Amino acid sequence: MNIMTDNKVLFTKEMQKDYTILIPMMAPIHFQLLRNVLVHSRYNVELLENTGPSVVEQGLKYVHNDTCYPALLVIGQMIDALKSGKYDVHKTALIITQTGGGCRASNYIYLLRKALKKADLGFVPVISLNLSGLDSQPGLN
């Protein structure tokens, strides 16, 4: 059973051994490094490589069309991966950067959570990767 607080599903320490964390392909070199760091820290992670029309379709379906195109693609990629059947959605978490600055990228996490709820996947934990103490998760330090 997932723990929910402040309208978000927490990624707990107990989830670390059983869950797969999906990383979006936002910056290939940097996110490959992130993947390696998390694997070294004993997390089961996968860097998403799904692309194509279905990613765009999922983004358009679950994100407002006024949202910036990169957000639409990142969120579409994650939902497309979850709906692919490749992952057990009840043992999968998502990770996304949260800058804390003025860019809309700070809001990707909220847009992603909203899109997951709309796609009936609101039980999937979303982990914020940031260096400013935003949106902490007990299962990832």
Per-position DSSP letters for 96-117, written without gaps between them:
EE---SSSGGGGHHHHHHHHHH
Which CATH fold topology does 9-129 show?
A: Rossmann fold (3.40.50)
pLDDT of residue 6: 63
Kindly report the pTM of this predicted structure.
Answer: 0.89
**CA angle (35, 41, 43) in 5-degree steps:** 65
pLDDT of residue 104: 62
pLDDT of residue 46: 95
Give first-to-last CA distance, the chain, whole Å: 21
Domain boundaries, the chain: 9-129
pLDDT of residue 137: 74
pLDDT of residue 74: 92
Euclidean distance between CA atoms 1 and 109, whole angstroms: 22
pLDDT of residue 45: 96
| SS3 of residue 5 by DSSP | strand
pLDDT of residue 68: 84
Q: Residue 9, Cα to own-chain centre: how many angstroms?
A: 12
Q: Which two tokens stand for residue 133?
A: 């103490």
pLDDT of residue 108: 84
pLDDT of residue 20: 97
Question: What Å distances lie between residue 15 and 18, 21, 82, CA to CA?
Answer: 5, 10, 17
The candidate with the shortest Cα–Cα distance to 38, out of 106, 93, 75, is: 93
Euclidean distance between CA atoms 120 and 4, whole angstroms: 15
* Ordered per-residue pLDDT tens for the chain, 141 residues: 566 566 789 999 999 999 999 999 888 888 899 899 999 999 999 999 999 999 999 999 999 888 888 889 999 999 999 999 999 999 999 998 876 666 666 678 889 999 999 999 999 999 988 767 677 777 787
